Chains A and B, each alone.
Chain A
Amino acid sequence: MDQEAQSSQSSEAAAKAVLLEECEEQFGLLQKLQNEIILTDTEANDDQSNEAVNRLIAVTSELEQWQEMEPKLLTTSPEVLLAVGKEELQRLNNQLKMVLSCSQAKLDAQKKILKREQTWQAEKKEALNAVCEKITRLQLENEKSEHSVLQDMKRKINNLKDYHSSLMEMLSDMLAEHFPLPDPQGNGTKKKRAAAYDAEMNLISLSEIIERLTNKTLETPHDPYVITDDTFWPPYTEMLLRNGIATRHPEDCNKIRLENFFGI
């Protein structure tokens, strides 16, 4: 153990000595070069020549130097090389770690930015779609305005016609149900007379009466009077008159007309 420690110490000392020697050598070289530089400096006057030219000269001469130079080891002693190598590798390791973490951080930031931009883009796309739809809708509406008015009118007319026909249907059903023609049976005692009475004249139903009244009023508004003849069953005409649906002609008692309930 002792011997090993001693031998390592001595090798260390030897390595140090080698290094110092090499340092001295290099320093001697440096001094020589420095003297040369000082000489050339004092000789040449400092003409304010173009900096770019200066730089060009410097760079080209440096380039030549690099091309000529051959890589050589700093020193041949292995301990020195080992120590220097270790140090260099550790430093390189640290620097690479820093670079790695830096690029990771940049990558994360970029990913976040990407996500944000994507959501923004999606929102804008949605807005665009909505606006386009609205535009097409408005355009359609503008194009078909005349046509649609016509269609609306047609639709309304059809609706009214349907309503009208349904009303008419209901009216006729109701009239048929509640105001039927007087049945020919009648009372027993006046049977013959009633049958003969009824067989002679063809009574028209209440709906027929109302129809005749309305038609006359609508077709000839200046003369809306309908003459009540024997086809009108008297109780029905009486009912119409009493309920205000029809009125008599003021001078002729045989004429009735539909009452004005459809005023302005």
Chain B
Amino acid sequence: MALLTPFSKVPELNTATVLLVENEEELQSKLANALVQYKKDFNVNVRLARKLPLPVENKETRPRIDLIVFVVNLLSERSLQSVESSLAHLHSDCFLGKVCFLVTDARCGSHTQERLVSVRKLAASHQSPVLCAEHRTVDGVNAAAVRLLNILKVSAGMSPIATTALYLSSLTRCSVTSDLEED
């Protein structure tokens, strides 16, 4: 079973690599463009995938992945299910700050609220942050890209010394309050 491990490769100079995993492939390309085009002082490699495990052929050429973003579309049931099945293919060391969840369409109805609760529970069990994004407008995509870049910077180790990925994930991890659980 080939798991995705966080530290098995040497990082590249002044480069961060982010892997966007999305079942529907709606937001992936837009987000990738926004990430690459945003003005920043380090290089960003964006790799796209529909689900894990990643194809074995690319294993050697693939650079070290600094951040794995699971994009969940709350309007479809299968999105969340594919994310859950992909999580099984991650090495447990990845959850120490290299995984992030991004949800879209969090405001569109009652089913989305239930799914949002389950995504948050999932993220809380893995101590990872949850971002909400609005993918239909350019501004929304840009805003999501900026937030992802901030997290990416930290998990690639480019922030000043005191901020490590583990520390950031402890700060930003999703917390499920007791009212949500009672629901």
List A residues at the B interface (Cβ < 8 Å).
30-31, 34, 37-38, 41, 46, 48-49, 51, 54-55, 58-59, 62
Q: A51-B126, A54-B96, A62-B166 are in contact. List 18 more A-B contacts (CB 8 A).
A: A30-B10, A30-B11, A34-B10, A38-B8, A41-B5, A46-B92, A48-B92, A51-B95, A51-B127, A54-B95, A55-B95, A55-B96, A55-B127, A58-B166, A59-B166, A59-B170, A62-B164, A62-B167
Whether the Cβ atoms of A46 and B3 lie closer than 8 Å is: yes
How near does chain A come to B125, taking the closest CB pair, in angstroms? 8
Secondary structure at chain A's binding surface: helix, strand, loop or mixed?
helix
Contacts from B to A (Cβ < 8 Å): 3, 5, 7-11, 91-93, 95-96, 125-127, 164, 166-167, 170
Given A59-B166, A59-B170, A62-B164, A37:B7 Cβ within 8 A: yes
The DSSP consensus for interface residues of chain B is loop
Select from chain B the residue with minimum beta-carbon distance to A34. Answer: B10
List chain B residues, Cβ under 8 A from A48: 92
Closest to A61 in B: B166
Alpha-carbon distance between A62 and B165 when the two chains are bound, in angstroms = 11
* Chain A minimum-CB-distance residue to B162: A66
Q: Please give, as numbers and ranges, the residues of chain A lying within 8 Å of B8 by CB-CB distance.
A: 37-38, 41
* 15 pairs from A and B in contact (CB 8 Å cutoff): A30-B10, A34-B10, A37-B8, A38-B8, A46-B3, A46-B5, A48-B92, A51-B92, A51-B95, A51-B125, A54-B92, A54-B95, A55-B95, A59-B166, A62-B164
Chain B positions within 8 Å of A38 at CB level: 8
Residue of B nearest to A88 (CB): B160
Q: Which residues of A contact B164 (CB under 8 A)?
A: 62
Question: Distance (Å) between the CB of B89 and the closest chain A CB?
Answer: 11
Task: Tell me the smallest distance from the CB of A210 to a CB of chain B, in Å.
Answer: 94
Chain B minimum-CB-distance residue to A27: B13
A34 to B7, CA, bound (A): 8
Smallest CB separation, B84 vs chain A (Å): 15
Tell me how far the C-beta of A251 lies from the nearest C-beta in chain B, rounded to whole angstroms. Answer: 106
Contacts of B170 in A (CB 8 A): 59
Chain A residue, CB-CB nearest to B13: A27
Least CB distance from B42 to A in Å reads 14
Interface pair A31/B10, CB less than 8 Å apart: yes
Is B93 touching A54 in the complex (CB atoms < 8 A)?
A: yes
Q: Given the complex, which residues of B lie within 8 Å of A46, measured CB to CB?
A: 3, 5, 91-92
Instruction: Tell me the bound Cα distance from A51 to B87 in angstroms.
Output: 13
B-chain residues with CB within 8 Å of residue A58 when the two chains form the complex: 96, 166
Q: Please, which residues of chain A bring their CB within 8 A of the CB of B9?
A: 34
Query: Chain A residues near B5 (CB, 8 Å)?
Result: 41, 46
CA A59 – CA B97 in complex, angstroms?
11
